Amino acid sequence: MAGHRARSIVRRLFILASAVLALYACALAVLFVNQRSLLYPAPDWRSTAAEAGLSGFQDLVLTTPDGERLVAWWKPPQPGKALILYFHGNGGSLWSGRLRAQALTASGRGLLTISYRGYSGSTGSPTEMGLHTDARTAYDWVRQSYEASRVVAYGESLGTGLAVRLGSEQPLAGLILDAPYTSTADVASLTYWYVPVSWLMLDQFRSLDIICQVKAPILILHGTDDRTVPFAFGERLFAAAPEPKRFIRIAGGTHSRNLEQGGMAAVEDFLAAVEAQLPDRASGRAATPTQAP
Protein backbone atom coordinates (compact mmCIF):
# COMPACT_ATOMS: atom_id res chain seq x y z
CA MET A 1 0.00 0.00 0.00
CA ALA A 2 2.76 2.43 0.93
CA GLY A 3 4.63 1.64 -2.28
CA HIS A 4 1.52 2.24 -4.39
CA ARG A 5 0.92 5.59 -2.67
CA ALA A 6 4.53 6.65 -3.27
CA ARG A 7 4.30 5.74 -6.96
CA SER A 8 1.06 7.72 -7.24
CA ILE A 9 2.68 10.79 -5.69
CA VAL A 10 5.67 10.51 -8.01
CA ARG A 11 3.37 10.17 -11.01
CA ARG A 12 1.40 13.26 -10.01
CA LEU A 13 4.57 15.26 -9.45
CA PHE A 14 5.82 14.17 -12.86
CA ILE A 15 2.56 15.27 -14.50
CA LEU A 16 2.69 18.61 -12.66
CA ALA A 17 6.33 19.19 -13.63
CA SER A 18 5.55 18.29 -17.24
CA ALA A 19 2.66 20.75 -17.29
CA VAL A 20 4.82 23.53 -15.84
CA LEU A 21 7.56 22.85 -18.38
CA ALA A 22 5.03 22.82 -21.20
CA LEU A 23 3.63 26.17 -20.09
CA TYR A 24 7.15 27.59 -19.80
CA ALA A 25 8.01 26.34 -23.28
CA CYS A 26 4.84 27.93 -24.64
CA ALA A 27 5.70 31.22 -22.94
CA LEU A 28 9.19 31.13 -24.45
CA ALA A 29 7.75 30.40 -27.88
CA VAL A 30 5.31 33.32 -27.64
CA LEU A 31 8.07 35.71 -26.54
CA PHE A 32 10.43 34.48 -29.25
CA VAL A 33 7.87 34.86 -32.03
CA ASN A 34 6.72 38.30 -30.84
CA GLN A 35 10.04 39.71 -29.66
CA ARG A 36 10.39 42.24 -32.47
CA SER A 37 6.88 43.54 -31.88
CA LEU A 38 7.89 44.12 -28.25
CA LEU A 39 11.23 45.74 -29.12
CA TYR A 40 9.85 47.88 -31.94
CA PRO A 41 6.32 49.07 -31.03
CA ALA A 42 6.54 51.48 -34.00
CA PRO A 43 3.76 54.00 -33.24
CA ASP A 44 2.11 55.30 -36.40
CA TRP A 45 2.21 59.04 -35.72
CA ARG A 46 2.49 60.55 -39.19
CA SER A 47 3.03 64.24 -39.68
CA THR A 48 4.84 66.66 -41.94
CA ALA A 49 7.40 69.00 -40.44
CA ALA A 50 5.04 71.91 -41.10
CA GLU A 51 2.18 70.16 -39.27
CA ALA A 52 4.58 69.66 -36.36
CA GLY A 53 5.20 73.41 -36.28
CA LEU A 54 8.86 73.16 -37.29
CA SER A 55 10.07 76.21 -39.17
CA GLY A 56 12.85 75.75 -41.73
CA PHE A 57 12.49 71.96 -41.93
CA GLN A 58 11.94 70.01 -45.13
CA ASP A 59 10.18 66.67 -45.57
CA LEU A 60 12.38 64.07 -47.24
CA VAL A 61 12.23 60.45 -48.34
CA LEU A 62 15.57 58.63 -48.24
CA THR A 63 16.05 55.33 -50.06
CA THR A 64 18.22 52.71 -48.37
CA PRO A 65 20.60 50.39 -50.27
CA ASP A 66 18.11 47.54 -49.78
CA GLY A 67 15.26 49.57 -51.26
CA GLU A 68 13.33 50.78 -48.20
CA ARG A 69 11.94 54.32 -48.20
CA LEU A 70 12.48 56.31 -45.02
CA VAL A 71 10.50 59.41 -44.12
CA ALA A 72 12.78 62.11 -42.71
CA TRP A 73 12.84 65.72 -41.57
CA TRP A 74 15.78 67.90 -42.52
CA LYS A 75 17.01 71.36 -41.60
CA PRO A 76 20.37 72.47 -43.04
CA PRO A 77 22.92 74.08 -40.71
CA GLN A 78 23.87 77.72 -40.86
CA PRO A 79 27.54 78.59 -41.46
CA GLY A 80 29.72 77.64 -38.51
CA LYS A 81 27.08 75.37 -36.99
CA ALA A 82 27.05 71.63 -36.34
CA LEU A 83 24.78 69.12 -38.06
CA ILE A 84 22.97 66.63 -35.80
CA LEU A 85 21.89 63.15 -36.88
CA TYR A 86 19.09 62.32 -34.45
CA PHE A 87 18.04 58.71 -33.78
CA HIS A 88 14.87 58.36 -31.69
CA GLY A 89 13.85 55.67 -29.20
CA ASN A 90 11.96 52.46 -29.90
CA GLY A 91 8.59 53.98 -29.02
CA GLY A 92 9.35 57.29 -30.68
CA SER A 93 8.64 58.95 -34.00
CA LEU A 94 9.40 62.14 -35.87
CA TRP A 95 6.32 63.67 -34.26
CA SER A 96 7.28 62.73 -30.69
CA GLY A 97 10.71 64.29 -31.23
CA ARG A 98 9.43 67.56 -32.68
CA LEU A 99 10.12 69.68 -29.59
CA ARG A 100 13.66 68.34 -29.33
CA ALA A 101 14.24 69.01 -33.02
CA GLN A 102 13.08 72.57 -32.47
CA ALA A 103 15.27 73.07 -29.39
CA LEU A 104 18.39 71.54 -30.91
CA THR A 105 18.18 73.71 -34.05
CA ALA A 106 17.13 76.97 -32.39
CA SER A 107 20.60 78.51 -32.69
CA GLY A 108 21.13 77.61 -36.34
CA ARG A 109 22.30 74.02 -36.09
CA GLY A 110 21.23 71.54 -38.72
CA LEU A 111 19.38 68.32 -38.00
CA LEU A 112 18.35 65.21 -39.89
CA THR A 113 15.99 62.80 -38.14
CA ILE A 114 14.61 59.66 -39.73
CA SER A 115 11.62 57.41 -39.21
CA TYR A 116 13.10 53.91 -39.10
CA ARG A 117 11.92 51.19 -41.46
CA GLY A 118 8.51 49.97 -40.35
CA TYR A 119 7.91 53.17 -38.36
CA SER A 120 5.50 56.03 -39.15
CA GLY A 121 5.39 56.39 -42.93
CA SER A 122 8.51 54.36 -43.75
CA THR A 123 8.44 51.03 -45.56
CA GLY A 124 9.79 47.69 -44.39
CA SER A 125 10.02 45.92 -41.05
CA PRO A 126 12.46 46.83 -38.26
CA THR A 127 15.43 44.62 -37.41
CA GLU A 128 18.78 45.44 -35.85
CA MET A 129 20.68 45.23 -39.11
CA GLY A 130 17.92 47.08 -40.92
CA LEU A 131 18.03 49.98 -38.47
CA HIS A 132 21.80 50.16 -38.76
CA THR A 133 21.34 50.39 -42.53
CA ASP A 134 18.85 53.22 -41.98
CA ALA A 135 21.32 55.11 -39.79
CA ARG A 136 24.09 54.65 -42.34
CA THR A 137 21.76 55.86 -45.10
CA ALA A 138 21.10 59.07 -43.16
CA TYR A 139 24.84 59.51 -42.56
CA ASP A 140 25.73 58.96 -46.21
CA TRP A 141 23.07 61.44 -47.28
CA VAL A 142 24.44 64.31 -45.20
CA ARG A 143 28.02 63.38 -46.10
CA GLN A 144 27.23 64.13 -49.73
CA SER A 145 27.27 67.79 -48.72
CA TYR A 146 29.02 68.16 -45.37
CA GLU A 147 32.32 67.08 -43.89
CA ALA A 148 32.38 64.60 -41.02
CA SER A 149 33.88 67.34 -38.84
CA ARG A 150 30.42 68.92 -38.73
CA VAL A 151 28.34 65.78 -38.06
CA VAL A 152 27.27 64.84 -34.51
CA ALA A 153 25.24 61.67 -33.91
CA TYR A 154 22.62 61.98 -31.16
CA GLY A 155 21.01 58.74 -30.00
CA GLU A 156 18.07 58.52 -27.61
CA SER A 157 17.35 55.22 -25.82
CA LEU A 158 17.19 52.55 -28.58
CA GLY A 159 18.76 55.10 -30.91
CA THR A 160 21.94 55.11 -28.83
CA GLY A 161 22.74 51.68 -30.26
CA LEU A 162 22.51 53.08 -33.78
CA ALA A 163 24.66 56.07 -32.86
CA VAL A 164 27.34 53.93 -31.20
CA ARG A 165 27.52 51.55 -34.16
CA LEU A 166 27.71 54.46 -36.58
CA GLY A 167 30.46 56.11 -34.54
CA SER A 168 32.42 52.86 -34.37
CA GLU A 169 32.42 52.57 -38.17
CA GLN A 170 32.39 56.13 -39.52
CA PRO A 171 34.10 59.42 -38.64
CA LEU A 172 32.04 61.83 -36.56
CA ALA A 173 32.61 65.18 -34.89
CA GLY A 174 30.88 63.96 -31.74
CA LEU A 175 28.58 61.36 -30.21
CA ILE A 176 25.76 62.17 -27.77
CA LEU A 177 24.09 59.27 -25.97
CA ASP A 178 20.85 59.98 -24.09
CA ALA A 179 19.83 57.14 -21.72
CA PRO A 180 22.10 54.52 -23.30
CA TYR A 181 22.20 50.80 -22.57
CA THR A 182 24.98 48.24 -22.63
CA SER A 183 22.83 45.97 -24.81
CA THR A 184 19.12 45.53 -25.36
CA ALA A 185 19.50 41.98 -24.04
CA ASP A 186 20.68 43.40 -20.71
CA VAL A 187 17.63 45.66 -20.57
CA ALA A 188 15.22 42.87 -21.53
CA SER A 189 16.71 40.60 -18.86
CA LEU A 190 15.43 42.96 -16.17
CA THR A 191 11.83 42.38 -17.21
CA TYR A 192 12.08 38.82 -18.51
CA TRP A 193 14.41 37.53 -15.80
CA TYR A 194 12.96 34.05 -16.14
CA VAL A 195 13.96 33.80 -19.83
CA PRO A 196 17.45 33.04 -21.26
CA VAL A 197 17.35 36.35 -23.13
CA SER A 198 20.96 36.27 -24.33
CA TRP A 199 20.23 33.00 -26.15
CA LEU A 200 16.86 33.89 -27.61
CA MET A 201 17.02 37.60 -28.44
CA LEU A 202 17.66 38.27 -32.12
CA ASP A 203 18.45 42.01 -31.96
CA GLN A 204 20.84 42.78 -29.10
CA PHE A 205 22.49 46.11 -30.05
CA ARG A 206 25.65 45.30 -28.08
CA SER A 207 26.96 48.84 -27.58
CA LEU A 208 29.26 47.85 -24.72
CA ASP A 209 31.27 45.64 -27.07
CA ILE A 210 31.96 48.31 -29.70
CA ILE A 211 32.00 51.71 -28.01
CA CYS A 212 35.76 51.34 -27.58
CA GLN A 213 36.04 51.76 -31.38
CA VAL A 214 34.50 55.24 -31.40
CA LYS A 215 37.08 57.90 -32.24
CA ALA A 216 34.94 60.99 -31.59
CA PRO A 217 34.33 62.89 -28.34
CA ILE A 218 31.47 61.31 -26.37
CA LEU A 219 28.81 62.87 -24.14
CA ILE A 220 26.53 60.60 -22.11
CA LEU A 221 23.38 61.82 -20.33
CA HIS A 222 21.55 59.56 -17.89
CA GLY A 223 18.86 60.11 -15.29
CA THR A 224 19.21 58.59 -11.85
CA ASP A 225 15.49 57.67 -11.78
CA ASP A 226 15.41 55.99 -15.18
CA ARG A 227 13.17 52.94 -14.75
CA THR A 228 13.51 51.75 -18.35
CA VAL A 229 17.28 51.77 -18.84
CA PRO A 230 18.87 51.87 -15.38
CA PHE A 231 21.42 54.55 -14.56
CA ALA A 232 24.05 51.87 -13.93
CA PHE A 233 23.94 50.87 -17.60
CA GLY A 234 24.99 54.36 -18.63
CA GLU A 235 27.82 54.25 -16.09
CA ARG A 236 29.05 50.91 -17.45
CA LEU A 237 29.00 52.18 -21.02
CA PHE A 238 30.85 55.32 -19.99
CA ALA A 239 33.55 53.26 -18.25
CA ALA A 240 34.13 51.34 -21.49
CA ALA A 241 34.16 54.43 -23.71
CA PRO A 242 37.44 55.96 -24.88
CA GLU A 243 38.53 59.51 -24.12
CA PRO A 244 37.60 62.28 -24.61
CA LYS A 245 34.32 61.67 -22.84
CA ARG A 246 31.97 63.28 -20.35
CA PHE A 247 29.17 61.82 -18.22
CA ILE A 248 26.26 63.99 -17.08
CA ARG A 249 24.28 62.66 -14.13
CA ILE A 250 20.74 64.02 -14.24
CA ALA A 251 19.56 63.89 -10.62
CA GLY A 252 15.97 62.65 -10.57
CA GLY A 253 16.00 62.33 -14.35
CA THR A 254 13.60 59.87 -15.95
CA HIS A 255 13.85 57.90 -19.17
CA SER A 256 14.32 59.90 -22.37
CA ARG A 257 13.75 63.19 -20.55
CA ASN A 258 17.37 64.09 -19.83
CA LEU A 259 17.53 66.94 -22.31
CA GLU A 260 14.45 68.55 -20.80
CA GLN A 261 15.41 67.79 -17.18
CA GLY A 262 18.75 69.56 -17.08
CA GLY A 263 20.90 68.12 -19.85
CA MET A 264 20.52 70.88 -22.45
CA ALA A 265 23.35 73.01 -21.06
CA ALA A 266 25.82 70.12 -21.37
CA VAL A 267 24.62 69.39 -24.91
CA GLU A 268 25.01 73.06 -25.86
CA ASP A 269 28.56 73.11 -24.47
CA PHE A 270 29.42 69.90 -26.31
CA LEU A 271 28.10 71.19 -29.63
CA ALA A 272 29.81 74.56 -29.15
CA ALA A 273 33.13 72.74 -28.70
CA VAL A 274 32.54 70.92 -31.99
CA GLU A 275 31.68 74.18 -33.73
CA ALA A 276 34.79 75.90 -32.40
CA GLN A 277 36.84 73.51 -34.54
CA LEU A 278 34.95 74.08 -37.80
CA PRO A 279 36.96 75.80 -40.56
CA ASP A 280 34.13 78.17 -41.48
CA ARG A 281 33.74 79.21 -37.82
CA ALA A 282 37.45 79.91 -37.52
CA SER A 283 37.65 81.86 -40.77
CA GLY A 284 34.28 83.56 -40.50
CA ARG A 285 33.18 82.36 -43.95
CA ALA A 286 30.33 80.10 -45.00
CA ALA A 287 30.98 76.45 -45.68
CA THR A 288 30.48 75.32 -49.26
CA PRO A 289 28.73 71.96 -49.59
CA THR A 290 30.55 69.53 -51.86
CA GLN A 291 27.21 68.57 -53.42
CA ALA A 292 23.69 69.71 -52.72
CA PRO A 293 21.59 66.79 -51.50
- Say what percent of the chain tops pLDDT 70: 89
**pLDDT tens for each residue of 220-271:** 999 999 999 999 999 999 999 999 999 999 999 999 889 999 999 999 999 9
> Among the ranges 41-50, 145-154, 273-282, 284-293, which has the highest mean pLDDT value?
145-154
**pLDDT tens for each residue of 66-86:** 999 999 999 999 999 999 999
Alpha helices by DSSP H, listed for the chain, are 2-39, 98-104, 128-143, 158-169, 184-191, 197-200, 207-210, 231-240, 264-276, 279-283
Does the pLDDT at position 1 exceed 60? no
Given this model, what pLDDT does residue 192 score? 86
- Residue 228, C-beta contacts closer than 8 angstroms, at least 6 positions apart: 157, 179, 187, 255, 256
**pLDDT tens for each residue of 201-227:** 999 999 999 999 999 999 999 999 999
Q: Under CATH, which number does the domain 43-283 receive?
A: 3.40.50.1820
Given this model, what pLDDT does residue 106 score? 95
User: Residue ranges of the domains in the chain?
Assistant: 1-39, 43-283
